[in-house]
Amino acid sequence: MALRQLILNKKIQERSAKITALRADEDKLKDEEKELEVALDEAETDEEVKVVEESADELEKKIKEKSDEISKLEDEKAELETELAEIEAEQTDEDTDEDEEKIKDGEKRKMGKKVEVRNTQDNKDFANYIRTQGLETRSLNTTSGAVLVPVEVSTNVLELKDGQVDLTAYVTSEVVGTGSGKFPVAKRATAILATKEELADIAEIADPLFIDVEYSAKTRIGQIAFSNELIEDSAIDVVAYAEKQMQRMVRNTNNKGILDVLNTFAVKNAIGADGLKSIVNIELDPELDTKFVVDQNAYQFIDTLKDSQGRYLLQDSIAFDSGKSLFGKEVIVISNAVAPKAPTGGIGFVWVGDLAEAAAYFKRSDITAVWEKFDAFSKGLAVGVRSDYKTVDEKAGVKVKLTAE
């Protein structure tokens, strides 16, 4: 069954390539047709008109031949695609039946390959775009030579439902409709209500209710390489493969962008556990939803801190997504690979504060992809997302120079 699918895919790709080449030839012939129209306008004698007429007849004949050949190839291709779709539908049904049997029998086996079961037309066309190496876009929307990644895929990528640390889940996150502008972010209220006498004007609120944050969503490009085996093996879900790679790139990019923002905050010194507790109790407003963001080096140090009775201060906590807490505050651990450098003399990168009040993540909802040959040995999708990362309230957190003594 898989061999038949490979053969059909190969035939579809061959016809797609021929159709693309023929359409290019057809466009050249139509350009020649326009040149003949100009020549006809400039013709002054019957002899010149006759020459143009003969050329036009020959050209019209060539255009019709190309058009007929394209129509024939498109019909053949459509028949092959129908046959392939029927085979894939049968295989999907068979796999579904097998999965149901496995559940009944209590079997739990990991499969090395996954059949494409994404049934939306956009997902099928995106898979076809990959398998034809960018030759066919079908129903996919395009922009500036790239295709828009299907909504189902881009949503999964941007929401990052893969269980890994995603700092965009903690900061203020907004989808924007334009590439740049100002976005009003609600500010933590510190003003108090003023006394108002009857018929008197209402006093102005001293503290603004919103902070206008300027953003400029920059395009960020990454590469997803595909081997020939991935492209040609119809038993592999190429859309799921692309989605997984996009998730990794987007998560790493977002975390790096947000950490760069946090790295701009004022630095406070802290010696051991008492110093960290002083930061939480004194340096930060108690109304903040304070959290610790630490790299692996700082986490290792914090994980060994004990109280006077020898009990570890870092606690497991089901109340927080990260599963860890210190002084009742969530501890979020980020990789050393993306963490900013620790302050000189500090144990590791440590930031303490309210992430939602401190930073904002602006994103466009669409993801673009274009098939490219990266170099002589690799090819795949060049994937683009548009995002920006900005400071909201510089008083909502501090960077910490943590030392043991």
Give the CA angle between residues 215, 216, 222 to the nearest 5°. 125
pLDDT tens digits for 333-370?
A: 999 988 999 999 999 999 999 999 999 999 987 788 88
Q: What is the pLDDT of residue 257?
A: 94
CB 302 within 8 A of CB 326: yes
Highest mean pLDDT among 79-83, 129-133, 339-343: 339-343
Residues counted in the chain: 405
pTM score of the predicted model: 0.63
Is residue 88 pLDDT above 80, yes or no? no
Q: Which single residue is written with the structure tokens 């997803």?
A: 224
Side chain identity at residue 251, one-letter code:
R
pLDDT tens digits for 205-224?
A: 555 667 788 888 888 888 88
pLDDT tens digits for 261-300?
A: 999 999 999 999 999 999 999 999 999 999 999 999 999 9
Q: What is the pLDDT of residue 114?
A: 38
Rg, C-alpha atoms of the chain? 31
* End-to-end Cα separation, the chain, in angstroms: 68
Whole-number percent of the chain with pLDDT over 90: 29
Read off the pLDDT of each residue in 322-342 and give the average, rounded to a whole number. 93
pLDDT tens digits for 16-72?
A: 778 777 877 877 888 788 888 888 888 888 888 888 888 888 888 888 888 888 888
Side chain identity at residue 95, one-letter code:
D
CB 314 within 8 A of CB 326: yes
